[in-house]
Structure 1
Amino acid sequence: MNEADMAMRDVNMRARTTGPRFGIMTAPSQVGYGDILRVWREADTIPQIEHAWLYDHLMPIFGDPKGPTFEGWTLLSALAAQTERLRLGLLVTSNRFRPPAMLAKIAATVDIVSGGRLEFGIGAGSRPGHPLARREYEAHGLPFYDSAHAVGSLAEACTIIRRLWTETEPFDFDGSYHRLHGAFCSPKPVQRPHPPIMIGGSSTATLRVVAEHADRWNFPGGDIDDAVRRSALLDRFCAEIGRDPATITRSLVLPVSYGYPGATRDAIAASIDAGFPYIILSLPTPYPENVARWVADEIINRYA
């Protein structure tokens, strides 16, 4: 058996033992608050939908460039207060937007508001070559460093955030990208030892951060064969630091087609076979009435 076949066997074993878990994503852009709230409230009543996600952008990256986009963490806190069961998060927070100690405080607050339902998604931030994403940094006076700086900052941020959530005494941190004096977070998150950490990204450098810090990994989309190759690389990085790679859940975002649900079901089947059992179904706008129930009946229930 060659290396590729062994990698596929291993990821398939993970998929079979873990089983698929389904959620939805509603991009908080080019849509009204009431529409998102309607979908989340409906999804909250449907057990087959286990988790729900927003994304983290400050300006539109699709559609009308002057259209509305809600700030992700503020909206997530509002939705947390109006749901009871769904696990929830941002897919994924841009580490470039907020200092890590501030982000730890925000996330702890949302975990408390939600009663311990936060899934903490984080990543290095938008790719430098994405002009629609790049403009939001310039428009908000935020620095936009190169990819090496972004990934190095992400690794330190994950360390800082975890320590703030778990340590009971103030601490100092003197890193290459972040420096803190007397850092402390109170109150702590509800979840112990801390909310699950999902890191999104596929670069080699980011996967090293995933191996060290993540409970879940989200592959940001594209070719499923590339996802399998990236997953095998993550396994290798885990082995290098002595971590069992099966302790990191593999996740994919898949677009939902209202007109051709069979295409979505086929994509789900391929993802599960490839060892990605944590499926996030991205719902396009406008949202039809009872869309969450439709997703459960037409897509998720086929895998029950």
Structure 2
Amino acid sequence: MSPTNPANTPDRPIRIGVQIQPQHADYSQIRDAVLRSEDAGVDVIFNWDHFYPLSGDPAGKHFECWTMLGAWAEQTERVEIGALVSCNSYRNPDLLADMARTVDHMSGGRLILGIGAGWFEKDYDQFGYEFGTAGSRIAKLAQDMPRIRERLAVGNPRPTREIPIMIGGGGEKKTLRIVAEHADVWHSFGDAETLRRKSGILDEHGAAVGRDTGALVERSVGVGAPPSEVADEIVAAGATLLTVSTGGPDYDLSLVKDWVAWRDAQG
């Protein structure tokens, strides 16, 4: 049995995710990394939603997010899948919701709908989207979240479950307010102290909008160090979804396996 986190809800298990960066690799290598990750025992496999590499050769190999998630839905059997995170600016919100509903059915109810306001200017410029400002992109996310929920509610057939919505970002005044209103999972960036402080701000927003975000919103973080170095403090700060990111072409899963072994040892 997976361990629970005393700093969060008493029955929320700790889960290990892996982000398979869809860059600098052939698709066959990405597919192999997904299979190896599921075999290794991870709980969630993520990609990301960009059109160009975020590191290394800026003109290197790269693949599109949602097409890939459809393939992963068929390829995997047990793990949840999703984008960490999908960019709200790149698709009509009703279309995004219907894509999520479809992948939900393809996967047998294993999709997490990760979404954020967007930030990578090259994507916008090269694909013809208006970049705007951080404020305008966040405002658009706030405007679109109700449309996404409404579209999910009217699709035929309905989603197989209430699709969990993960919102990424740490803006204290605006983004965390959107998280408080709409998210089931909040993905934050930074160390344990940052998580603890912003988690408190999230709960203040939750009280303002009438949601018990301490109980209803799972805390998710990226981890880049072995569990022996950071696990205790990050779990004590409230995180229960811990995700390692790995890049192509080799997709080294050694750190992922360390975290899976740590998770299993807690029970």
Instruction: Please give the TM-score of this superposition, normalised by the length of structure 1.
Output: 0.79
Q: 1:170 is matched with which residue?
A: none
Q: 1:207 is matched with which residue?
A: 176
Cα distance in 2 for partners of 1:16, 1:272 equals: 13
Q: Deviations over 1:32-51 (max 9, x none)?
A: 211221121133234x4111
Residue identity in the other structure for 2:228: R
Among 143, 150, 166, the alignment partner of 2:153 is 166
User: Map of 1:46-125 to 2, 5 A cutoff?
Assistant: 46=40, 48-125=41-118
Cα distance in 2 for partners of 1:196, 1:231 equals: 19
Deviation at 1:19, TM superposition (A): 3.4
Gaps of 5+ in 1: 1-10, 127-132, 168-184, 257-262
Residue identity in the other structure for 2:203: D
Q: 1:5 is matched with which residue?
A: none
Aligned in 2, Cα 1:186/1:16: closer, same or farther, shift over 3 Å? Answer: closer
Q: 1:254 is matched with which residue?
A: 223
Q: Deviations over 1:39-94 (max 9, x none)?
A: 21133234x41111001111111000110111001111111111111101000000
Q: 1:152 is matched with which residue?
A: 139
Deviation at 1:95, TM superposition (A): 0.4
Is residue 2:266 matched to residue 1:303?
yes
Equivalent pairs counted in the alignment come to 260
Cα distance in 1 for partners of 2:56, 2:67 equals: 22
Q: Comparing both chains, which one has the higher relative contact order based on Cα–Cα distances under 8 Å and sequence gaps of 6 or more? A: 2
Deviation at 1:23, TM superposition (A): 1.5
Aligned in 2, Cα 1:190/1:51: closer, same or farther, shift over 3 Å? Answer: same
In 1, are the aligned partners of 2:218 and 2:240 still within 8 Å (CA)? Answer: yes
| Bigger-Rg structure (1/2) | 1
Aligned in 2, Cα 1:293/1:242: closer, same or farther, shift over 3 Å? Answer: closer
In 1, are the aligned partners of 2:38 and 2:78 still within 8 Å (CA)? Answer: yes
Q: 1:239 is matched with which residue?
A: 207
Deviation at 1:295, TM superposition (A): 4.0
Q: Deviations over 1:183-217 (max 9, x none)?
A: xx3343221xx200010000020000000000110
In 2, are the aligned partners of 1:253 and 1:280 still within 8 Å (CA)? Answer: yes
Is residue 2:185 matched to residue 1:216?
yes
CA RMSD of aligned residues (A): 2.1
Among 7, 17, 20, the alignment partner of 1:23 is 17
Aligned in 2, Cα 1:292/1:77: closer, same or farther, shift over 3 Å? Answer: farther
